[in-house]
Structure 1
Amino acid sequence: MTRTTRLTDTRLDAAARFLWTSGRVLEQRRFAHLFGPRPDPVGVLAALGAHCAPDGGFAYGLEPDVRGPAPQPIAVPAALLALEEAGALDAARALPVCTWLAEVAAPDGGVPVVLPSLRPYPRPPFIPVPEVGAEPVGELLSTGQIVAPLLRQGIEHPWLTAATAFCRAAVENLGETHPYEAGAALRFLDAVPDTAWARKAAARLGELVREQRIVLLDPDRPEEAQLSPGYAPGEYHLPHDYARAPGSLARGWFTDRELARGLDHLAAAQQPDGGWPIHWARWSPFTESEARPGVTLQALLVLRAYDAAPES
């Protein structure tokens, strides 16, 4: 793919204005650490600390669609991402998280998306909450995203061993799927140490994604992609939503042209205020405003990663 600069100084400056104006403290700290003149991991950790629950989980709106003080598994990926970016995802910090996950996981190691403890608090209608007293049911959507950074950093824990086996079995048995689940599977495959198995499994996953048309290959032809049940109008996933960096196993799923079209579309999607929009259901204006800074940071990271990729 020919080198193209999509993350221009103008685009980055506009994003910075948006984040300094509208970003939560965590996103502002992450932006300063990742794009500022000097890395600031201490600032990232301080901001993340406000979302820590006493039992090792994360809450208080770290995942904007999940409100309240009760920690939820779906908030853990954002916490691990911040820790990893700060170079602080070590055994000492991972231990309380893994211990908490072991307590809420199903017997097979899989973790639910959310727990019954979310029931008293605001949440979107598209997140089903288990009944109080129900046995936990693990899901690849949540477990894959959580396991991936822990594997990348070489963390060891009995729960992680079980969760890794859960993800491997779930990926091998994956059939009808949807973009968020397929993305979680891909995050796991990009991190799992068994690279030979991961390459084979990723090739099959890529075939599923294309066969089921859960990727929008041409932004000008949305009718060629399939919206999954329950998704909002326009909630499509493009090639870069799977292959977030050139080194991802999902990069081989797409031609240079398909990827370039998606990246061009991503760059052009920057809004007049400098931020990027969300595409899932807008169930609350407040949570949308809290989600956009994270979406904006993700867009910047994707564009930067591909700008830095060698020419091909």
Structure 2
Amino acid sequence: MKTLTEDALAAAGRYIQLNARLIDRLRYDRLLGGGSPDRVLAVLRAHQNPDGGFGHALEPDLRGAESQPEPVEVAFWILDELDAFDDPMVTAACDYLVTVTAEDGGVPFVLPSVRTSPRAPWWETPDDPPGSLVPTASIAGLLHKHKVSHPWLAPATAFTWSAIEAATELQPYTARAVLHFLEHAPDRDRAHEQFVRLREAILATVSFDPDAGGEAHFPLDFAPEPGELPLFSDEVLERHLDALIDQQSAEGGWAPNFLMWTPVVAHEWGGFLTVARLRTLKAYGRLPTGG
């Protein structure tokens, strides 16, 4: 079993300093035990708009200031790692979600307002987009995890259950969102039933070869920390944790494996993903002692 060395961890810190956004530099400091959660929250708050949604390139591929549903998910993952779901940003974001929820109870993947700003080419939508499991399922899962009560959550949960129970085949990002929801949905019997039914469909979206090229989705993308639902064996996870350590770049970071459509996003995603990879290594006990 490999463990990230002290020198490799120091290299990751240098990479963060040279490439990452302020919010990810502060998340890195917090992860390694020396940073203040209040400073991370202050920077995150600057990404929140008066309507309660998030924008301003919190999701690096959405460059505009306007609120979109997906940056709410990004914000909630950061609040999750800080265990800060009592922050007023959460209620304000849920109030925003109510205003953009489709008639089916889910929030769309992206709203038509995205057309006014630079964005990655996959952020496209019809004029009247329906609800989508991405990001509805992940947002609902995080709210359930932290036992948040808000009027948006019940219809969003009903939408998510309906979409999951109708699903037979999944795309990787959808599979990851479904798995996260099932990890935290309060109806545990129903969650386990759907996990058993969809387990093979979820696994069909996973790349088990650590050296797979292109936009592959690996086991640790689905299980960035130990979870309740047994999707992968310990052997698979250990192999991919070893590979993750080996995949650290000469510059000290972990590079994205999807399209970098404009130069700045390579740095922003690199910093974001490097923090994410270090969080995974820490969750599985693969950082140096004290890291």
Q: 235, 242, 259: which is aligned to 1:257?
A: 235
C-alpha displacement at 1:239, in angstroms? 1.2
In 2: Cα distance, 1:84 partner to 1:209 partner: 24
Once the two structures are superposed, what CA deviation does each residue of 1:146-177 show, in whole Å capped at 9, x if it has no partner?
A: 11211111111111111011111111111221
The aligned residue for residue 108 of structure 2 is 112
Once the two structures are superposed, what CA deviation does each residue of 1:92-111 show, in whole Å capped at 9, x if it has no partner?
A: 43221111101001123200
Once the two structures are superposed, what CA deviation does each residue of 1:54-108 show, in whole Å capped at 9, x if it has no partner?
A: 1000000000011111111011111112222223212743221111101001123
Once the two structures are superposed, what CA deviation does each residue of 1:250-290 show, in whole Å capped at 9, x if it has no partner?
A: xx222232222222221111111111010111211211211
Q: How does 1:163-182 map to 2 (within 5 A)?
A: 163-182=156-175
The aligned residue for residue 226 of structure 1 is none
Moved over 6 A (4+): none
Is 2:40 the counterpart of 1:44? yes
The aligned residue for residue 227 of structure 1 is none
Unpaired runs of 5+ residues, structure 1, are: 223-232
Q: 93, 109, 115: which is aligned to 2:89?
A: 93
Is 2:256 the counterpart of 1:278? yes
Alignment check: 8 A CA contact 1:179 1:237 kept: yes
Query: Comparing 55-64 with 280-289, which one deviates more in the overlay?
Result: 280-289
Q: 195, 212, 216: which is aligned to 2:207?
A: 216
In 2: Cα distance, 1:43 partner to 1:19 partner: 17
Q: How does 1:185-264 map to 2 (within 5 A)?
A: 185-210=178-203, 213-220=204-211, 222=212, 234-249=214-229, 252-264=230-242
In 1: Cα distance, 2:240 partner to 2:83 partner: 30
C-alpha displacement at 1:248, in angstroms? 4.2
Identical pairs, percent = 41
Alignment check: 8 A CA contact 1:91 1:156 kept: no
Amino acid at match of 1:297: V
Give the 3 Å change call, closer, same or farther, for CA 91–31 of structure 1 in structure 2.
Answer: closer
The aligned residue for residue 225 of structure 1 is none
Alignment check: 8 A CA contact 1:5 1:307 kept: no
In 2: Cα distance, 1:284 partner to 1:205 partner: 36
Amino acid at match of 1:268: D
1:127 match: secondary structure: coil
2:284 match: secondary structure: helix
Once the two structures are superposed, what CA deviation does each residue of 1:11-60 show, in whole Å capped at 9, x if it has no partner?
A: 221111111121101001111112133x4111011111221111000000
The aligned residue for residue 54 of structure 1 is 50
Alignment check: 8 A CA contact 2:64 2:117 kept: yes
The aligned residue for residue 152 of structure 2 is 159
1:253 match: secondary structure: coil
Q: When the two structures are superposed, what TM-score results if normalisation uses the length of structure 1?
A: 0.87
In 2: Cα distance, 1:87 partner to 1:258 partner: 29
Amino acid at match of 1:285: P
Is 2:104 the counterpart of 1:124? no
1:142 match: secondary structure: helix
Query: Comparing 191-200 with 26-35, which one deviates more in the overlay?
Result: 191-200
In 2: Cα distance, 1:43 partner to 1:293 partner: 17
Q: 16, 29, 34: which is aligned to 2:31?
A: 34
The number of residues matched between the two structures is 287
Unpaired runs of 5+ residues, structure 2, are: 287-291
The aligned residue for residue 271 of structure 2 is 293
In 1: Cα distance, 2:58 partner to 2:282 partner: 24
